Each structure stands twice: as structure tokens, then as C-alpha cells.
Amino acid sequence: DEFISSPPRKTVRFGGTLTDILLKYEKGDTTDFELLKHQLSDPDIKDAQIINWLHEFRASVAYLTKELEQLVNILLKLPWLRRSREVVEEYLGFLGNLVSAQTVHLRPCLQMIVSQFVPPRITIREDDVDISDSDDDDENISENFDTCHRALQTVARYVPSTPQFLMPILVEFFPFINKSERTLECYVHNLLRVTVYLPTLRLQILELITEKLLKLDVSTPQQDIEDAEETANNCASEEKCTEEGLFDMEEDEDRKGNKVVSPSIERMAHPLAERLDILMTILFSYIRDVCHVDGKLNISNTKDLYRDLVSVFDKLILPTHASCHVQYFMFYICSFKLGLAEAFLDHLWKKLQDPNNPSVIRQTAGSYIGSFLARAKFIPIVTVKACLDLLVNWLHKYIDNQDTGANAYCDVALHGPFYSTCQAVFYTLIFRHKQLLDGNLRKGLSYLQSLNFERIVMCQLNPLKICIPSVVNLFAAITRKYQLVFCYTIIERNNRQFIPVVRSGTGGDLVQTCTNPLDSFFPFDPYILKRSKKTIDPMYQFWEELSAEDLENLKKPIKKGTSEDEDDDFLKGETPQNDGVVEIAPNSYESNTRSPVSSIGSPADCYVPYPL
């Protein structure tokens, strides 16, 4: 108030007061109006001049109608953010007056604010050629972002309909995925800040961010990321070998005493993976901060955010095939409380069993259930057993309905959800069988026998023919060891009946053998983005590669009447442990005539010889 009531500083002015200039313009005299526009567009305009003009414009907003849109656009281009505090405060006051009196200018005002959500670009030119174009590492950039959010809150306070006008602008200004990491990082961070004071936009903003993350994710298959990392590591090793011995004097002693960790260790070699890693780190931080208040889990906030994330999951993640990392936001929020994990499993279960859902959605829901049960350390064995009971009972009912009818034959198109559920059960058993049998072997075996795997495996629908070979072989080895079911006769018969797949191409039709007819994948295969994986790893169950001793143990069935306290050597070696990463195994969705061979993280095909 003191500032506003104080007399304006004297500055060089042309054309009289602002009201006089605008009135003359209405009468057709544009001379002073053009001078006004020229002064406002001057790149060397001083703070005092800006304050003077804004003070007059605040008192004259009634004149700034649609016809003066060009003048308003010039005002919105004023370099106000990187000015003195007085300029910033005066400009915020002007914005409030403008949108409250002339809502016709709401959209340009919002566009101006949102355009400041990314760092400014600095272009250096020599002889009319751009030789540098990079982000401005302004030390005040964080403060500038704070001011932008103040401006947005000011506008929203004066115009209640701001959110519905703002959302299309946020979509429009989202940077292209090939923009710099810093640009994407700042924009996504600022979008998430908007959800704090405009909560009605949270779901739409989360959908927007997830959609962009998915584009990055599907553009960077895990194999491409691993190849880029391997190439970068090889190059680094070669450079290190070349430099060794060149500087072997005092500096070497210094290096030994003070180990310097290169920041490049944290960077992903693949440029799109690097962007995805940064953005996933921001998303995980946002989820953590929303759900925790003063370091404690806030149940109300967590439930609200969970509902929004499940909605995003259903709309965008579930219909997307073979995304590798983005779905982990559900994995992360479910780790906060067992009730959330159980709610997520129940949600997937309803998707799976609902015949009104498309088959592909039901199959994907099955993949998520199996992968989640297998990989989430925070899910206790009692929950795993409850889920297995649900899934296996559903399989038996499905067999009751289908195994004797006209459709009682092996066909992915007809029975896709059934096969996906079978694979989820097999996969869960592979990862969790030690815990299922832990403590009381006899009681655990009794439970597994009650699931009646033999009926599922022997039914006319023949799930062993459809499921991924790596899963089938390990399931067969484990169930044989505990005399739950003998799968090898069926596997041998299936191997003699390869499934032909006809693919049309320019060179004619090509017949191939398909080892993944479900086109299934395990959505929670190992997370390989370097920064953000630090959030996931502590709660993630890694697969341990089988040793030669473990493979030998798989060939030895346990004897009937084994005492419940007898040690089980296989379980000690094969089953995933809760600490440490040994070696991640093959990619679950790569198909070849045997089992997958590249290394990404599902159980490896152990190739246990068939017993004679």
C-alpha cells in the first residue's frame, strides 16, 4: 500500500497519460498509441518505466477490451520475471486486475505463465549462425518458478473457471520428448506443483505425464537400453586402458587417496532412457511427498492419490503392451500399505474375471497379478496364498465349463484369459514356493496338493503348450520334485507339435515357430533405470540364477514321508532370497524356438533333462 500510494518516479514519457492515449486511439488517433507500443517493446526498458506503466494499466483495465488484444499481448511479453521484486509485485497485481475485469484475456495470460515453466534458452550467434543453443542455468530459476505459481494462483483466485482453460494449455506446451532433460524435468516438476493448489486438475495432469512417459518407455526397449550401456562401458574401459600409465606420478597417489565418483555413473547411456529415468525419479518423489506428511503416512492423502493412479493405470498403462518402467508407480504406492497392495490385486482380479472386458485386457491383468505377486517383497505369503486360491479356483471352474464342450481344445483366441491365469499361477509358484513350504514342509505340501495342479496341467486346454517355455520348464521341475504333477510327458508331446504362425511379407508367407503365442510379458521384470531404481530395489524380489547343484537337485524327487524338519537343498539354492542381486535372467517376452536367451529378468529355462 505504501508503495502504491507513493508518487511514481520520473521517467522519459511520450504522449500524456495512458487514459488519454487510449481515448485518442478510440477516436482514430494512433500516433501516441504506436509510441506506447514502441516503448513497451523496448528490450532496454527500465524497471522504473515498467512499474510506472503497470501502475497506470492497473487503473485502466476497463479500457483493455478485445480490440486492444495486441497491446495486451505486448504487456504479457514484458520481461517481468527477471526484474526487481517491485516489478514482480506490480505485475502480479496487474494480472489480477486484468483477468478479473477482462476475462477475454484469460487464455493469453495463462499461456504466458505456462510458457515460463521451462528454463529460458540462450542462443549465441556468430555471423548470423547459431553456434550455441542451451538451457539457461540461471541460479534464480527456482525462484522464478515460485513466482510463476504465485501468478497462476492469483489468476485462479480471480477466475474460478481457470482450471478448465488451463488444462488444454498445459497439454499444448508440454515439451517434445527429444527436448533437453532439463527442459522436461522442469516442466513435469511444475505440472505436479500445479496439482497441489489446483487439485481438480490432478487426475488430468497425471494422465498427461503418464502418456508422455509411456511414449518414452515404449521408444526405449530394455534390450536397446542394455546395448547402449554395454557399448558405453566398453568405450569407458578402452579409454581407461589408453590413459593408464600416462600420468603415473603424484596424481596417481592423489587419486588413490581420494576416490572421485564420476557423475556419468548415474547417467543412462541411452538418451531417451536418461530422460525417462529423470522423470520417473520426479514422479516417485511426488508420490512419496503427497502420501507422507511430516514423515508419516497420511492415509487420506494416500487413498485419494491411489484412486487417481489406478484410474490412470486403467486408462493408459493396462492397454499398453510391454511397457517396462512407467507401471512401477503402482508398485511403489502399493508398498506404502498392505491394504493398497491388496486393493490393487483385487482390482486386477476383477478385470481378469469379468467376461465383459476385452480378452487382451483380461490377459494383461493376469500378467500383472502374477508379476506383482512374484516380485513385491512387501506382499506377505498369506496374501499370496489367498490370491492363489482365487486364481486356481477360477481355473478349475473354467475347466468345468469348457473341458467337455465344443471349445475343449488348445486355442489362444478362445481361452486367452485362462492361459494368462495359468502362467500367473506357475510364475508365482516358481518365485514363492520356498515361502509356501517354509516352516512346515508337510503342511505346505498339503496346501500345494490341494490346488490340484494335475487337473489344470492335464486338461484338454493344455496350458503347458501356450505358456512361455522358461516358466513351463521351471514349474515342471519344481512340481516334479515335490510330486505335485508330472509335466514332462505333456511337454515332450507339445514339443513335437510346434505351433506354426503364418506371417505375410513382401517375399511371400513365412511360417515360423512361436514360443510365446500369448504374446505375454511380465510387467514387473527388473527395473534398470539407474537413478529411479534406487527407489524400487529395496522392495523388489530379484531372481537368482540356478547353480549346477540346484539343477541336479531338481532331478531328485523328495521321498514320500519326508519329515517336516528335513532340510531341502533345492530351496536353499534356487529360490529368490530377500537380499542381494545375483543375476537376472531372460527377457520374458522375447520369443525363439527354445526359451528366451537374452538377459532381462524372468526365470531362465533350466533345461532339466527329462527323467528316464
Same domain, 274 and 184: yes
- Mean per-residue pLDDT, 106-130: 82
Per-residue model confidence (pLDDT) at position 6: 56
- CB contact at 8 A, 32 and 16: yes
Per-residue model confidence (pLDDT) at position 594: 31
How far is Cα 477 from Cα 393, in angstroms, rounded to an integer?
Answer: 23
Q: Is pLDDT above 90 for 91?
A: yes
Q: Is pLDDT above 90 for 552?
A: no
Does 344 fall in a domain? Answer: no
Q: Is pLDDT above 60 for 602?
A: no
DSSP secondary-structure letter at 66?
Answer: G
Residue predicted with more confidence, 102 or 238: 102
Q: Is pLDDT above 90 for 506?
A: no
Same domain, 457 and 331: no
Backbone angles phi, psi at 505, to 5 degrees: -145, 180
Same domain, 66 and 183: no
SS3 (DSSP) at 500: strand
Per-residue model confidence (pLDDT) at position 515: 66
Q: Which of 492, 520, 548 is the last residue of a domain?
A: 548
- CB contact at 8 A, 132 and 123: yes
Same domain, 371 and 412: yes
- pLDDT band with cut points at 50, 70 and 90 for residue 77: very high
Q: Per-residue pLDDT tens for 400-437? A: 988 677 777 877 888 889 999 999 999 999 999 999 99
What are 511's strand-pairing partners?
502
404 alpha-carbon distance from chain centroid: 43
Q: Per-residue pLDDT tens for 254-288? A: 444 444 444 556 789 899 999 999 999 999 999 99
Does 562 fall in a domain? Answer: no
Same domain, 386 and 305: no
At position 557, the amino acid (one-letter code) is: P
Residue predicted with more confidence, 211 or 131: 211
**Which H or E element spans position 505?**
strand 500-505
Per-residue model confidence (pLDDT) at position 598: 33
Q: Is pLDDT above 90 for 239?
A: no
Q: Per-residue pLDDT tens for 564-578? A: 333 333 233 333 433
Per-residue model confidence (pLDDT) at position 123: 65
Domain that holds residue 108: 11-120+140-161
Per-residue model confidence (pLDDT) at position 521: 83
- pLDDT band with cut points at 50, 70 and 90 for residue 253: very low
- Mean per-residue pLDDT, 377-381: 96
Q: Is pLDDT above 50 for 480?
A: yes
- Mean per-residue pLDDT, 524-552: 84
What are 296's strand-pairing partners?
293
How far is Cα 477 from Cα 546, in angstroms, rounded to an integer?
Answer: 12
Same domain, 92 and 221: no
- Report which listed range, 3-7, 63-67, 573-577, is most confident: 63-67
Does 521 fall in a domain? Answer: no
- Mean per-residue pLDDT, 385-399: 95
Half-sphere exposure for 468 (CA within 13 Å, toward CB): 30
Q: Which of 132, 161, 190 is the last residue of a domain?
A: 161
Does 582 fall in a domain? Answer: no
Same domain, 220 and 279: yes
DSSP secondary-structure letter at 538?
Answer: G
DSSP secondary-structure letter at 586?
Answer: B
Taking each continuous run of H as one helix and of E as one strand, the counts in the chain are 28, 6
The total number of structural domains in the chain stands at 3
Residue predicted with more confidence, 513 or 220: 220
Grid coordinates of 479: 512340481
Same domain, 107 and 62: yes
- CB contact at 8 A, 555 and 611: yes
Cα–Cα distances in Å, from 367 out to 174, 422, 583?
Answer: 32, 10, 22
Per-residue model confidence (pLDDT) at position 94: 94
Per DSSP, the residues of 521-580 read --TTSPP--TTTHHHHGGGB-PPPPPPHHHHHHHTSPPPTT--TT---HHHHHHSPPSS-
In this structure, of 202-211, 511-520, 587-596, the range with the lowest mean pLDDT score is 587-596
Q: Is pLDDT above 60 for 393?
A: yes
* pTM beyond 0.85, yes or no: no
Grid coordinates of 270: 541411452
Same domain, 325 and 370: no
In this structure, of 57-71, 120-134, 335-349, 433-447, the range with the lowest mean pLDDT score is 120-134
How far is Cα 296 from Cα 325, in angstroms, rounded to an integer?
Answer: 27
- Kindly tell me the burial class for residue 161, based on how many C-beta atoms sit within 10 Å of its own C-beta (0-12, 13-18, 19 or more): exposed
Q: Per-residue pLDDT tens for 138-179? A: 678 899 999 999 999 999 999 999 999 999 999 999 999 888
Per-residue model confidence (pLDDT) at position 250: 44
Does 469 fall in a domain? Answer: yes
Does 66 fall in a domain? Answer: yes
Per-residue model confidence (pLDDT) at position 31: 87
Residue predicted with more confidence, 405 or 525: 525
Q: Is pLDDT above 90 for 110?
A: yes
Q: Is pLDDT above 90 for 128?
A: no
Same domain, 183 and 155: no
- pLDDT band with cut points at 50, 70 and 90 for residue 131: low
Same domain, 393 and 331: no
Average pLDDT, the chain: 82
Per-residue model confidence (pLDDT) at position 611: 45
- pLDDT band with cut points at 50, 70 and 90 for residue 600: very low
Per-residue model confidence (pLDDT) at position 429: 95
Indicate the pairing of strand 500-505 with strand 292-293: unpaired
Does 167 fall in a domain? Answer: no
**Which H or E element spans position 296?**
strand 296-297
Does 474 fall in a domain? Answer: yes
Q: Per-residue pLDDT tens for 441-453? A: 899 999 999 999 9
Per-residue model confidence (pLDDT) at position 145: 94
- pLDDT band with cut points at 50, 70 and 90 for residue 333: very high
Same domain, 319 and 381: no
Share of the chain above pLDDT 70, in %: 76
Grid coordinates of 609: 533333462
